[in-house]
Amino acid sequence: MAQEKARARTLAKQQAMAERIVSASEQLLAGIEETNSSAQEFSQLMDNLASAGEQVGSSA
């Protein structure tokens, strides 16, 4: 009986840890996706800036 309770507690702890790992993984993935999106936006802004600089340089 005591072994069964100990096993049940162990399984419950493992389940709780697994759920925490899943949650942390989802948060990490969201952060990576946001970083990727920001990097793409930054790259696009830099391209726009370079293009504008070329236009200013060619009209001068």
Round to whole Å and give the CA distance between 39 and 47: 12
**pLDDT tens by residue, 1-58:** 999 999 999 999 999 999 999 999 999 999 999 999 999 999 999 999 999 988 888 8
pLDDT at 59 over 80: no
- Per residue, the 3-state secondary structure of the chain, as one string, reads CHHHHHHHHHHHHHHHHHHHHHHHHHHHHHHHHHHHHHHHHHHHHHHHHHHHHHHHHHHC
Nearest C-alpha neighbor of 11 from the set 1, 22, 19: 19
The amino acid at residue 40 is Q
**What is residue 60's predicted lDDT score, i.e. its pLDDT?**
64
